[in-house]
Amino acid sequence: MTDMTNAAPVAATSPGLPEDQRRLIELDDAIAKIRTQIATADLARQRGQKPIDPDWFHRARTALRHLCRERAELLAQGTGRRRREKLKDALIGILRERHDPEIWQGILAEAQARSEREGL
């Protein structure tokens, strides 16, 4: 059987992608590789060439389960971030509508100064 270490994901090389999106791509790649290995082993078993090693199969399914869980957790975190971003956008829109352009520019400058002070 194929060694599960050969199923290590290849890092996404797009420099502009955020880390969580890059990790999702890596997870999808690793999941696809393991599924392909399992399917290949099953096809060989069906052709009568050789049985599937139960220890290998258990390791492959366990690795697949862990990768799928990590992927689900990453997606759940992203959903929370998107909600927070939408809330921030709505808040900014309301504040911008309620203040004249000069006051808005002052608020914006203060926020930028704070973010620089806090290293954001």
Domains of the chain: which residue ranges?
Answer: 7-84
Q: What is the mean pLDDT of residues 88-104?
A: 89
Half-sphere exposure of 107 (CA within 13 A, CB side): 13
Residue-wise pLDDT for 7-47, tens only, equals 444 455 567 777 888 999 999 999 999 999 999 999 999 99
CA distance between the termini of the chain: 48
Most confident of 64-68, 86-90, 110-114: 64-68
